[in-house]
Structure 1
Amino acid sequence: MEQAHAGLIARPAHPEQMRQACGGCHARQVAEAAASPHFTARNEVNAVRAVFGAKASLASLAEIPTHAQIASPLDLVDDLLRRRCLRCHVYSSGDGYSETVRGTGCAACHLAYANGKMSSHAFSRSPADSQCLHCHYGNFVGADYYGRFEHDFNLEYRTPYRAEAQQSRPYGVEFHQLAPDIHQQKGLACIDCHSGAELMGRHGGDREKEKKVTCLTCHGWRKGQPLPLSNLQTEADRLVLTTRLTGKKLVVPRPVHPAHRQYEKKAHCTVCHSQWSFNDQGAHLLRTEQPDDAAWARLAVQGSSEVEAQLNTPAPDGPSQRDKITGAPGRGLWLKGYELRRWERPLIGPGPDGRLHIFRPILDLHLSMLGPDKKVIFDNVGVEPARQRYLPYTPHTVGKAGAFFRERLQPNLPPETKP
């Protein structure tokens, strides 16, 4: 067996090997993907670091500094990102739950996994949604497309209660099943809107690049305009989308209600058409080297298998968490909890373009740290001013606008978020 495996590369598609292993045939794709926001996670990383004092942007998550000593809130954020947050990226093979395990690098998307194992050694040209959900789970865009809203961590809220001791948690935490996005119900997969050209970095204005897809890319198309996606065609003056995975043909409906013309320049489509949105307020994260296991017993489900294992069975040498980029272990454990988790009342406010958008408090973060002697080093360090905690986003929970859609056309962000 050892002789048969001699000279083989364990993870040839990993970012450190993919140029050599994959680039021989796919040099352009490898180069473009390596610089794409989807690959580098630079937008997410820089958004978090900026509100905690970072002055310069990073080109990639791999550039997040490591710190021998945590001396500032930004140092604490860097440690949080590297050791707790960044499990969903191409340097990592995911978490230890059955549907969060995946490949690395190119294989993160193009090599199928299911039930915690590789399904096939054959690379897939067109990944199924199950591949996307290996990363886009929890209360993040992707899971909402399937109507999933994560339960609270407290055991009293993680229904349904089951007789068996071990509950099924394929994505780490159980979820409420809410209304899926209408596009998902009709049969569209993620890649029907988000093409490889978009995901792998070919954004821009020239002919070789594709523009970012929006609602109006398809629903605002008019006869005589160029077709915006390769899986679109015209039939009898109607725009028809052919799904990439199943070949199903769907006529793209045009917005005919007078409200569209009246409000399209005043509000993003999802302000009226999102059925629900993510609203997780007050995410509290504590870095400690001596977790009080009894105090955290009701929050023992953490959405991190690494954290849960050490809360349930404390390590004799003290807790540690791996760096999710290098794999190196480091002392201390990051524990998490929320003040409030809701979905039913989307937060609405003016976005950068002046139109109303749906917002989520994704930067409503509160960081604390205890030293080895349980001395408080940082206590509830949050984002100020409070308006920076809220960012506009596009909920993938689209459905028909309700009869009272005009009530959505009023800002309802908390007063402290106003400039």
Structure 2
Amino acid sequence: MKKIFKYAIPAMLGFSCFASQAAWDDDKGCMSCHEGIEQFSDVDMMADLTCVDCHNGNGKATDQKKAHTNMWANPTDLRVVDETCGSCHADEVEKAKTSIHATMSGMISGTRYNFGSQTRDSIYATYDVKALKTGREGTVASLKQLPSYHPNKPESDTNSPGDDYLRNQCLRCHLWSDGHQRDGDYRASGCAACHVEYSNAATYEGGDKAIDKTQKDRPRKHKMTTKVSVDQCQHCHNRGGRTGVSYKGMMESDGYGTPYTETGGKQGKLHGKHYNFLEADLHFDAGMSCIDCHTKDEMHGDGYLYTKKHLAVEIRCESCHGSTKSDATLKTARDNPLNNVKREGTKVILTTKNDGKQLEVPQLFANPNLSKEGQVAMVKIAGHMEKLECSTCHAAWAPQCYGCHATQNVGKPNGDWLDGSSIDESAKGKKSNLNKKAYSWSESRSYVRWEMPALGINSRGKVSTFVPGCQVFLTQVDGEKALVNNKTYTTKDGTSGLSHNPIQPHTMSKRSRTCEECHTNPKVLGLGSGVYDIERNFPEGQAPAFELERFVDEDGKQLQSTSHEGARPFNKQEMDNIRRVGSCLACHGSDEINANGKAPDDITHMKVIQRMVEKAN
């Protein structure tokens, strides 16, 4: 192929040609068929790449079959990327393989912990991997590939149904794999997972005349982008913590698909679910994308093997907004400068990376425009700023999926997201090429909520929003034969395998939660609402000893696990302190508690009340 052909074959990312082949033209080469295809990149040097530079194949062939022999459908797949993107970006490629996006170490360790097969420590990843850097807290030197499950062997720490659950279901969202084949989940593997955009419908919208524009599993265009959209991140971030869909104000319903469309039919599905639309995160409404906050090191990896997602995150609210005691640093928690945020006089300006929109970032330090409520919560009661995450008050809601009812059919082999085979090395992570080395799973839940999420202490020692983690109820069948029914596990440290975990819900609102909601509501304290009747919702003898919202008792005893080291529910003293303020609110209101001081003990308080009653009489 002549060097002037600066285009890559559209078989990239799963493209395939129509059965009919155009007449070969030596001057056009691959463009004999693929006339109109987009130049993959406008970046200097990349714009000069030929089809075979990226896709391999045979550039001298004069028919389609020979031209596509030994071709890589996706040159950015991590199995071949060292020979493609890695030729120029070796450092980025090596770091990407150690990133939490590639290893999924946090999801793996959390799931296995709740299945009772390991401690909180990270042991396993998608594939064997060694760190490029070591020594940072919350990281490890190496991780091994997750074991496979064999139902004919005894269940053990290295033979857990949880491993099969991960391999068949949860691990669809790592960089070594393509996405799940359904609307909202389609994407490519490797670098293209982020940098080649897919619509939710996953159909081609470009100019290549050889590509069927009705066929699914196609990128919008044969084009690389650094302007990664929220929708692109959402192709993966719609399960687990659900931060991708929550950011846009989307909360899954129970599948009804109503209100109906104008034709009387059900609304379309994304990620296999129907959605309600709630209040979106204020940053989304302002026009910000995920990449405006999250850094290159967080997403690409920095060479360390982090054990949990939250440990890899280096951005903080204070980086841009400052605090009531200090200016915004304009740096991450690891002292890395934010390249799209700068100070202009007394203002802090953020420039969005996708469209260049300039936004003034509200500042907390010496801000005379704080609302009355803000003055009370952040200035008069200074302990809030020291003891609480910002999202604790400002997350308007959080997704709460109670009861993860998972059924494994050991009589029905199914695809394994970590085991694929294909003549094309770059296509081993495609769902259609997965080997049936795992078993079929189906999932359901008890119920979903979004309002009044609970609180607890996160691994940073701060009060944080808590949501249900993986509340595993395992049912195992062999065809029609039931083997296990609604089994729950006990963790290695003796806690229930049902879990609640801290989260930054990505549902930030200028309006905060009320003082009364946090200081007087038992559900917010982790004590549950008392409404869900756990006994009547399970067969006799199979119900857990507590309702699904309840992860601590009134004495501060932890009832459900948390997979984050150091995270926990409130203890009894903390709950008593919180509720004491709630009692004061009934008479004083949030504005009066700090203004009028507080009695140092109950005896003094009773004397004050007695004097007030005497004066009133």
TM-score range, shorter chain: 0.7 to 0.9
Q: Contact conserved, 1:271 with 1:408, CA < 8 A, in 2? A: no
Percent identity of paired positions between Structure 1 and Structure 2: 28
* Match status 1:329 vs 2:436: yes
Q: Which runs of 5+ in 2 are unaligned?
A: 1-63, 128-144, 203-217, 305-311, 332-336, 365-369, 420-433, 528-549, 559-617
Question: What SS is found at the alignment partner of 1:390?
Answer: strand
Equivalent AA in structure 1 for residue 84 of structure 2: A
Cα distance between partner residues in 2 of 1:97 and 1:170: 8
Q: Which runs of 5+ in 1 are unaligned?
A: 205-209, 291-318
Cα distance between partner residues in 2 of 1:223 and 1:272: 21
Alignment of 1:321-400 (within 5 A): 321-326=414-419, 327-330=434-437, 332-372=439-479, 374-377=481-484, 379-383=486-490, 385-386=495-496, 389-400=499-510
| Larger CA deviation: 99-108 vs 348-357 | 348-357
Post-superposition CA distance 1:282-305 (Å, at most 9, x none)? 110011257xxxxxxxxxxxxxxx
Alignment of 1:210-359 (within 5 A): 212-220=314-322, 222-223=326-327, 225=329, 227=331, 228-255=337-364, 256=370, 257-258=374-375, 259-261=377-379, 262=382, 263-288=384-409, 319-326=412-419, 327-330=434-437, 332-359=439-466
Which structure: larger Rg? 2
Alpha carbons of structure 1 residues 391 and 401: separation in structure 2 relative to 1, 3 Å: same
Name the counterpart of 1:311.
Answer: none
| Larger CA deviation: 399-408 vs 41-50 | 399-408
Q: 2:222 aligns with which of 99, 118, 121?
A: 121
Q: Contact conserved, 2:410 with 2:440, CA < 8 A, in 1? A: yes
Cα distance between partner residues in 1 of 2:70 and 2:340: 42
Deviation at 1:331, TM superposition (A): 6.5
With normalisation by structure 2, the TM-score equals: 0.58
Question: What SS is found at the alignment partner of 1:123?
Answer: coil
Name the counterpart of 1:69.
Answer: 151
Deviation at 1:92, TM superposition (A): 2.0
Cα distance between partner residues in 2 of 1:103 and 1:119: 12
* Match status 1:159 vs 2:266: no
Alpha carbons of structure 1 residues 6 and 191: separation in structure 2 relative to 1, 3 Å: same
Deviation at 1:363, TM superposition (A): 2.2
Q: Contact conserved, 1:144 with 1:397, CA < 8 A, in 2? A: yes
Name the counterpart of 1:312.
Answer: none
Alpha carbons of structure 1 residues 387 and 379: separation in structure 2 relative to 1, 3 Å: closer
Name the counterpart of 1:12.
Answer: 75
Cα distance between partner residues in 2 of 1:239 and 1:87: 39
Cα distance between partner residues in 1 of 2:265 and 2:328: 61
| Larger CA deviation: 62-71 vs 272-281 | 62-71
Which 4+ stretches in 1 moved above 3 angstroms? 161-167, 221-228
Q: 1:2 aligns with which of 65, 72, 77?
A: 65
Deviation at 1:101, TM superposition (A): 0.7
Alpha carbons of structure 1 residues 404 and 57: separation in structure 2 relative to 1, 3 Å: closer
Question: What SS is found at the alignment partner of 1:234?
Answer: strand
Alpha carbons of structure 1 residues 353 and 195: separation in structure 2 relative to 1, 3 Å: closer
Q: Contact conserved, 1:278 with 1:360, CA < 8 A, in 2? A: yes
Q: Contact conserved, 1:363 with 1:383, CA < 8 A, in 2? A: no
Cα distance between partner residues in 1 of 2:462 and 2:519: 10
Cα distance between partner residues in 1 of 2:355 and 2:452: 35
Alignment of 1:16-95 (within 5 A): 16-52=79-115, 53-55=117-119, 57-62=122-127, 63-69=145-151, 71-72=154-155, 75-95=160-180
Name the counterpart of 1:412.
Answer: 525
Q: Contact conserved, 2:474 with 2:488, CA < 8 A, in 1? A: yes
Alpha carbons of structure 1 residues 111 and 366: separation in structure 2 relative to 1, 3 Å: same
Which of the pair is proportionally richer in strand? 1
Equivalent AA in structure 2 for residue 121 of structure 1: H
| Larger CA deviation: 251-260 vs 101-110 | 251-260
Deviation at 1:373, TM superposition (A): 5.7
With normalisation by structure 1, the TM-score equals: 0.84
Q: Which has the higher contact order (CA 8 A, sep 6+)?
A: 1
Q: Contact conserved, 1:323 with 1:330, CA < 8 A, in 2? A: yes
Name the counterpart of 1:199.
Answer: 299
Post-superposition CA distance 1:168-225 (Å, at most 9, x none)? 2132111101110000000111000012222111388xxxxx9700211211175594
Equivalent AA in structure 2 for residue 142 of structure 1: G
Alpha carbons of structure 1 residues 223 and 85: separation in structure 2 relative to 1, 3 Å: closer
Equivalent AA in structure 2 for residue 353 of structure 1: R
Name the counterpart of 1:137.
Answer: 238
**RMSD, matched Cα:** 2.5
Q: Contact conserved, 1:358 with 1:395, CA < 8 A, in 2? A: yes
Give the number of aligned pairs: 383
Q: Contact conserved, 1:371 with 1:377, CA < 8 A, in 2? A: no
Equivalent AA in structure 2 for residue 101 of structure 1: Y
Question: What SS is found at the alignment partner of 1:287?
Answer: strand
Deviation at 1:400, TM superposition (A): 1.9
